[in-house]
Chains A and B, each alone.
Chain A
Amino acid sequence: MPDLAISVSDLSKKYDSGLAVSHSNFQVPAGTICGFVGPNGAGKTTTIRMLLGLISPTGGTGEILGQSITSPDKYLSQVGAMIEGPAFYPALSGAENLRVLATLGGFPIERVDQLLEQVGLAERGKSKYKTYSLGMKQRLGIAAALLPDPKLLILDEPTNGLDPEGIQEIRQLLRSLADKGTTVFVSSHLLSELELISEYLVMLRKGEVVFAGPMQDLFDAQQPFMLVKTENESDLAKIISLAANAGHKAHIRDGVAHIEGPAEWAGVLNKLAFEAGILLTQLSPQLPNLEETFFEMTGDQK
């Protein structure tokens, strides 16, 4: 069993409105990048809040860096976090905001300038936070999370508001942190980004963990599929019916039929369509990717 950065067992949070997180079980090995995904309202932020001691679980247990989440003071000095987007004092400069947190946590004040440099805010460090763009605020949030030189970095939607170049920079930053041994637990809606950087994945749906483990295990468990378009959109239903009759699961999403099956079966489908008088305008075999798998497993719509 590798060292675990995060381990939760039967973790639950119940509000008056219902269970926000239901008996979650997952583990995140130390030194990895772990994606944390789920549709809106799946319980990602509630889980993160529990891991950071901001809210109390109503059931189950959890450990961060070997310490119980009921004693956050024992591990939070080694944890950096940005939850629900950046939150700072608008009237203070970016640098002064970081100094407030550095002073509070007992971290060297010199780190503030280094981190501003690292996240590309060196030239705007003295500007008031309220003058920052969304992307700059996001960068400041990441800098704040890096203040403790964390062993575990928990980021909630770190690439919100960033341009493609910024997203790439953050991806490289997270990769370099993981290479140095930092565990990165990152939630994002940018599934293609997570697919590029994550080795582990935790997927939530309606408060329950539907997958937790190495990313490759997830893909190995998925069927290859093909995307099919027809000249007349009304023929898609017929294609779905043809596939179903041949024993292949299929559904329509965004005007495209998604049909499970190996690439070799594409020829058979093409023949079946031709015989049924349906003209195909696209027939492309696909390997499972995170986005497709996510929609498959969470039942969420694009």
Chain B
Amino acid sequence: MILSVVRIFFAEWRKLRRPTLLLGTLGAVAFFSVLVSSLLFLLIDSPQGNGDRGVRITREMLALPSGSTQAFSSIGNLLGIIALCVFAAQTAQEYSLGTLRNLLVRQPGRIRLLVGKLASMKVFAIFMTLVGAIISIGVSFALAGGKDVNTALWFNSDGRIEIAKTALNVYISVLGFGIIGMVLGILLRSPISSISIGVLWLLIIENIVGAVKSSTLEWLPGSQLATVAAGGTETISYTHALSLSGIYVGVALIIATTLFTKRDVAN
């Protein structure tokens, strides 16, 4: 069982490590990390705010031990969308290319196949998170001096704990988004459909629903995962977001696993 999962992991990794996918994904992570971190510091004196939805993040807030991860925690949502696209495409393409039948002939244990694929994607998500963390903290540090932000507390023991905590939260969030993408891939069996429906829901529908009735944001899945990345917000507690995200992802995984194991592979 374990040996099979290890084999599946490395087989999947061969696909994930191809330069166009790996470098393309990490390039997108780097782009958003640089963009959000730069805006946070370059707009620090802007009356329109420098944070998400016009929130003002002051020099004093940025000087706290958590200051180095302000930008990083707020890109969790964007990294999550990237993970959703990658996981959805990697899963759904097995159906659209017809390669799933090859995989199942070589590895008929369908749950094992799913576990191995997920394990490989988890490692991919670690790379995404690490690259996002290094670049956003690096850019923040580089820009802090020019904007009179004190970084003395950023890398002391409290600062390092904040970095580790934020990295873990962003990773959990990225993984949650990724698993939702994987589930959509299994359900819809088409990369384009699963990516477009996932992105449409998270970027547009949740925002519209949240704008019309803000209390719904406490229950919508994308909002919960973004809150986990941010380590909690003023309106949604971290524990609430983490528990609800766990329930959403868990239920989605159960449905997808049942479908994946029971459904005929007829294409």
A73 touches B99 (CB 8 A): no
> A49-B265, A101-B106 are contacts. A84–B101 as well, Cβ < 8 Å?
yes
Could you say which residues of chain B place their CB within 8 Å of the CB of A148?
106
Bits for A96-109, please: 1 = Cβ < 8 Å to B, else 0: 10011101111000
Q: Which residues in chain B, 99-143, are within 8 Å of chain A measured between CB atoms?
A: 99, 101-109
Range, interface on chain B: 20 to 34
Could you say which residues of chain A place their CB within 8 Å of the CB of B99?
87-89
Is residue B213 within 8 Å, beta carbon to beta carbon, of the partner chain? Answer: no
In angstroms, Cα B106 to Cα A72, docked, is: 10
Quick check: which of B13-21, B167-175, B178-186 contacts chain A, the rest being far away?
Answer: B13-21
Is residue B3 within 8 Å, beta carbon to beta carbon, of the partner chain? Answer: yes
Could you tell me the distance in whole angstroms from the C-beta of B8 to the nearest C-beta in chain A?
6
In angstroms, Cα B265 to Cα A55, docked, is: 6
> A55-B264, A87-B102, A103-B7 are contacts. A96–B14 as well, Cβ < 8 Å?
yes
Is residue B2 within 8 Å, beta carbon to beta carbon, of the partner chain? Answer: no
A88 touches B97 (CB 8 A): yes
Closest to A80 in B: B105
B18 touches A91 (CB 8 A): yes
Q: Which residues in chain A, 197-230, are within 8 Å of chain B measured between CB atoms?
A: none
Is residue A272 within 8 Å, beta carbon to beta carbon, of the partner chain? Answer: no
B15 touches A55 (CB 8 A): no
Q: Which residues in chain B, 64-110, are within 8 Å of chain A measured between CB atoms?
A: 93, 97-99, 101-109
B264 touches A56 (CB 8 A): yes
Q: Which residues in chain A, 137-195, are within 8 Å of chain B measured between CB atoms?
A: 144, 147-148
A90 touches B97 (CB 8 A): yes
B101 touches A83 (CB 8 A): yes
Q: In the complex, which of the residues A81, A92, A101, A106 contacts B3, with contact meaning CB atoms closer than 8 Å?
A: A106
B108 touches A53 (CB 8 A): yes
Q: In the complex, which of the residues B11, B97, B109, B264 contacts A100, with contact meaning CB atoms closer than 8 Å?
A: B11
The count of chain A contact residues (Cβ–Cβ below 8 Å) is 31
Is residue B266 within 8 Å, beta carbon to beta carbon, of the partner chain? Answer: yes
Could you tell me the distance in whole angstroms from the C-beta of B157 to the nearest C-beta in chain A?
42
Q: In the complex, which of the residues A52, A81, A92 contacts B18, with contact meaning CB atoms closer than 8 Å?
A: A92
> A81-B105, A100-B14 are contacts. A87–B98 as well, Cβ < 8 Å?
yes
Could you say which residues of chain A place their CB within 8 Å of the CB of B107?
104-105
Could you say which residues of chain A place their CB within 8 Å of the CB of B101?
49, 52, 54, 83-84, 87
Could you say which residues of chain A place their CB within 8 Å of the CB of B109?
73
Could you tell me the distance in whole angstroms from the C-beta of B99 to the nearest C-beta in chain A?
5
Could you say which residues of chain B place their CB within 8 Å of the CB of A53?
104-105, 108
Is residue A79 within 8 Å, beta carbon to beta carbon, of the partner chain? Answer: yes
A76 touches B98 (CB 8 A): no
Bits for B42-82, please: 1 = Cβ < 8 Å to A, else 0: 00000000000000000000000000000000000000000
Could you tell me the distance in whole angstroms from the C-beta of B88 to the nearest C-beta in chain A?
16
In angstroms, Cα B7 to Cα A90, docked, is: 22
Could you say which residues of chain B place their CB within 8 Å of the CB of A103?
7, 10-11, 14
Q: In the complex, which of the residues B3, B11, B97, B108 contacts A87, with contact meaning CB atoms closer than 8 Å?
A: B97
Could you tell me the distance in whole angstroms from the C-beta of A301 to the nearest C-beta in chain B?
27
In angstroms, Cα B21 to Cα A73, docked, is: 31
Closest to A53 in B: B108
Binding site for A on B (CB under 8 A): 3, 7-8, 10-11, 14-15, 18, 20-21, 93, 97-99, 101-109, 264-266
* Residue contacts A-B, CB under 8 angstroms, 7 given: A52-B105, A54-B266, A55-B266, A73-B108, A76-B108, A96-B14, A104-B7
Binding site for B on A (CB under 8 A): 49, 52-56, 72-73, 76, 79, 81, 83-85, 87-92, 96, 99-101, 103-106, 144, 147-148
The 8 closest A-B pairs by CB, nearest first: A87-B98, A55-B264, A104-B11, A105-B106, A72-B108, A103-B11, A54-B265, A104-B106
